[in-house]
Amino acid sequence: MPNAPIKKSLRRRIYMACCLLVGLCIVSTIIGRAGQTQLLRNFAAYESSEETLAQVANLDQDVQELKSRSEKYLQTGAPSQLARAMDLQKALSLQISEVNDKNEDPRIRANLIEMRSELDVFKDRLSRAADERELRTRLIQQDLPNKHRSISELLEEILRVMNDQEEGFMAVEYFRLVHAHDQSLQFLQRYFIEPDAAAFEKALSSIDLARSLIKQIVKSADEAEIQQLGQQLDQELSEFRKTGSRAVQATRSYMFYSNVVMAGEISEFVYDSNRLKKYVEEQRIQSRELRNQSAERSLWLALLASITAVAVAVVMATRLSYMIVTPISRLTETFRRLGQGESVDGIPAMDRFDEIGRMARAAKIFSDKNKETQQLLQRSEQLSNELANKAEALEQTNMELDNFAYVASHDLKSPLRGITHLASWVQEDCESLLPDDSRNHLQQMKDRVAKMESLLDDLLDYSRAGRINPKPEKIDVGELVASVVSMIDLPDGFRVNLMTPTFDIFTVRTPLFQSLMNLVTNGVKYNDKGKDGKLEILAERTGDFVHFRVRDNGPGIDPKFHSKVFEMYQRLESEGVEGSGMGLAIVKKLISRYGGELSLESEIGGGAEFSFTWPCAERVTDDITGKLANTASNG
């Protein structure tokens, strides 16, 4: 028993080594997985920052264009620039909302919210500036010139009246009036070109002077017409003063909003856009650095785990080699000699009680069993020969069973025909003498004999399937399918759609014709739609095979019976339809014998589709025909 600890120690060390290596693998996998997860997370963050940067860059580009369009509008007043600026404002508002919805960074979201608020204020200020500019333009270009024209006409009318009445003493006041009015217009125009408060004050002073002069003229004049024209002129000068003041006010408002938009809102908006772009760029750089750091850290951790695993494996392998490899090498030589049939007396490691000791004792058993092994080999060879003979006998039995089905189905038809004739003779000679029950029984016997003949015919067809060895020939697929359909008695209204393009194949004709005939006949016979029945026949060539499909709109077949319908004498219940249940079995046997595949796709109430492949290449057909010829000769 002193060697017992060796047994336990060896197994324990092997298990510990395996567990340690597995543990190192698991740790390496966990480290690698953690590193990969972190790396993927950093990659995702970097991609997200790249996407955000692209969105912010587009946003910033539109902000710069909005600034440019706004400045051009404020400089030129072009309506196209204003319309483009408003469109950009709407687009920017949508972009800000989209970026805000897709981003979760609170700082970016806060900046975007602030930008959207500033954009709304900018839109309001720009709209007000546009309204003031439009009002200013209308006042300067339409209202003021119209007022000036009206005043000029009144002045000309006053001058005409004065000339008619020879009121020469008022000429000085009149010309001062005209000069004051012209100066007021000049001062206003100077203000509109280059706003200056002094010019506006001078314009107002000139208007007031003109009004005072017209009042003097009215007061000094004796003519009622001059007084009436003077009052109208004073009223027009008052309106002219109001219009000029409103134009100046609109100019000042326009300048105020322009300066606010230019120097205030748009600058603040551009500043926020640049700040957002800078922040996103910093986030992208930070994400890239984190990604690179994570990749480098994962690489070093994986390398350290690999080096540790390799070092531990080398140490464990060295120790286990000393304890296991040397004894096993000696046992290997022993087994080699045993494998050559020798009987070895001095088997090494027989004194050990661990696994290697058991291997040594097993070698001893092998040595003792060498002679028995030779005897077993001889016995095995004898049994193999017997098995081969039995396999040959089994094959012969299968052939005899196949021949029996052929002979039985053929020979049993003669006595059945005799029974049919006897029943017919009895029915013809004694029909008037027999009671009704006997006549019914006699008719039932004839019907059942006919049913038996039909079953034997189907059995004969099944046994003949594949026995005939026809020669391959060139066949027109479209003509073949059409000839199959022409031989079937279709119900009134029943439609058959032939979707078979015309192409030639090289194959055996009769088996293919019989297979199509059975499938098409079933599709017509079991269709429950009457005059609404429909059948589709499709054919297409794929490589060395032709793919046929026969599809109907009948009652369909439950998927659980799909394999059953191809068995012998198996048929599903169908009212008013006679059948033996051998048609699909014959089709399957023919298609399988000639190297094709038959399948069924159907559901209850959804019709049925039978599809099969048929070899059509000359080389493939010749190979199949040769095999069938060999089978027939062996049979």
Tokens of 105: 């960074």
According to the model, what pLDDT value does residue 546 have?
A: 94
Residue extents of the structural domains in the chain:
128-244, 374-455, 470-634
Phi/psi of residue 221, nearest 5 degrees: -80, 145
Segment of 151-155, 365-369, 569-573, 599-603 carrying the highest mean pLDDT: 599-603
Tokens of 133: 């500019």
Which pLDDT band, with edges at 50, 70 and 90, does 389 fall under? confident
According to the model, what pLDDT value does residue 467 have?
A: 57
DSSP states along 341-402: T---S--TTTT--SHHHHHHHHHHHHHHTHHHHHHHHHHHHHHHHHHHHHHHHHHHHHHHHH
- CA 102 to CA 115: how far, in whole Å? 16
Residue of 581 and 547 predicted with greater confidence: 547
Q: Report DSSP state, residue 31.
A: H
With a CB cutoff of 8 Å and minimum separation 6, the contacts of 374 are: 341
454-458, 552-556, 596-600: range with lowest mean pLDDT: 454-458
Measure Cα distances from 390 to 221, 379, 400, 401, 404 in Å: 155, 17, 15, 16, 20
According to the model, what pLDDT value does residue 577 have?
A: 58
- CA 210 to CA 230: how far, in whole Å? 11
In this prediction, what percent of the chain has a pLDDT beyond 90? Answer: 6
Tokens of 620: 């493939």
Task: Output the 3-class SS for 471-504.
Answer: CCEEEEHHHHHHHHHHCCCCCCCCEEEEECCCCE
106-125 tens-digit pLDDT: 777 777 777 777 777 777 77
Statement: residue 531 has pLDDT above 80 = yes
Phi/psi of residue 574, nearest 5 degrees: -150, 115
Tokens of 564: 């059953």
According to the model, what pLDDT value does residue 550 have?
A: 94
β-pairing, 534-542 vs 495-499, is parallel
- CA 283 to CA 88: how far, in whole Å? 27
Residue closest to 584 by CA, chosen among 462, 408, 480: 462
Count of other CB atoms within 10 angstroms of residue 555? 18
Q: What is the pTM of this model?
A: 0.36
Average pLDDT over residues 144-155: 83
According to the model, what pLDDT value does residue 6 have?
A: 44
Tokens of 546: 């032709």
With a CB cutoff of 8 Å and minimum separation 6, the contacts of 67 are: 266, 269, 270
The type of residue at 81 is Q
219-271 tens-digit pLDDT: 777 777 777 888 888 888 888 888 888 878 877 777 776 666 555 666 666 77
Instruction: Say if residues 549 and 609 touch (Cβ distance below 8 Å).
Output: yes
According to the model, what pLDDT value does residue 597 have?
A: 92
Tokens of 15: 């298990």
- CA 336 to CA 500: how far, in whole Å? 69
7-18 tens-digit pLDDT: 455 667 677 777
DSSP states along 236-284: HHHHHHHHHHHHHHHHHHHHHHHHIIIIIIHHHHHHHHHHHHHHHHHHH
According to the model, what pLDDT value does residue 1 have?
A: 38
Statement: residue 632 has pLDDT above 50 = no
According to the model, what pLDDT value does residue 569 have?
A: 66
Residue of 132 and 382 predicted with greater confidence: 382
With a CB cutoff of 8 Å and minimum separation 6, the contacts of 72 are: 78, 81
According to the model, what pLDDT value does residue 548 have?
A: 95
Statement: residue 382 has pLDDT above 80 = yes
- 562 burial type by CB count under 10 A (0-12 exposed, 13-18 middle, 19+ buried): middle
185-226 tens-digit pLDDT: 888 888 777 787 888 888 888 888 888 888 887 777 777 777
According to the model, what pLDDT value does residue 536 have?
A: 94
* E strand or H helix that includes residue 406: helix 370-411
Phi/psi of residue 476, nearest 5 degrees: -85, 115
Task: Output the 3-class SS for 317-340.
Answer: HHHHHHHHHHHHHHHHHHHHHHHC
Residue of 557 and 306 predicted with greater confidence: 557
Residue closest to 506 by CA, chosen among 468, 480, 467, 486: 480
According to the model, what pLDDT value does residue 594 have?
A: 86
- CA 332 to CA 337: how far, in whole Å? 9
Phi/psi of residue 599, nearest 5 degrees: -140, 165
- CA 492 to CA 531: how far, in whole Å? 6
Statement: residue 177 has pLDDT above 50 = yes
Q: Which residue do the tokens 């020969």 mark?
A: 385
Average pLDDT over residues 293-314: 78
Instruction: Count the residues in the chain.
Output: 635
Average pLDDT over residues 575-598: 78
Residue of 356 and 495 predicted with greater confidence: 495
Residue of 24 and 515 predicted with greater confidence: 515
Which pLDDT band, with edges at 50, 70 and 90, does 283 fall under? confident
Buried/exposed code over 90-111 (b: 16+ C-beta within 10 A; e: otherwise): eebeebbeebbeebeeeebeeb
Which pLDDT band, with edges at 50, 70 and 90, does 547 fall under? very high
According to the model, what pLDDT value does residue 259 have?
A: 66
The chain-wide mean pLDDT, for the chain, equals 76
According to the model, what pLDDT value does residue 285 have?
A: 79
Domain 470-634 class in CATH = alpha beta
Segment of 148-157, 215-224, 329-338 carrying the highest mean pLDDT: 148-157
According to the model, what pLDDT value does residue 3 have?
A: 42
Residue of 119 and 562 predicted with greater confidence: 562
338-353 tens-digit pLDDT: 777 666 767 777 777 7
Count of other CB atoms within 10 angstroms of residue 54? 11
Residue 223, phi-psi category: left (phi > 0), alpha (psi -120 to 50), beta (remainder)? beta
583-594 tens-digit pLDDT: 788 888 888 888
According to the model, what pLDDT value does residue 614 have?
A: 93
Which pLDDT band, with edges at 50, 70 and 90, does 460 fall under? low
- CA 40 to CA 285: how far, in whole Å? 17
Tokens of 124: 């309001």
154-163, 340-349, 420-429: range with lowest mean pLDDT: 340-349
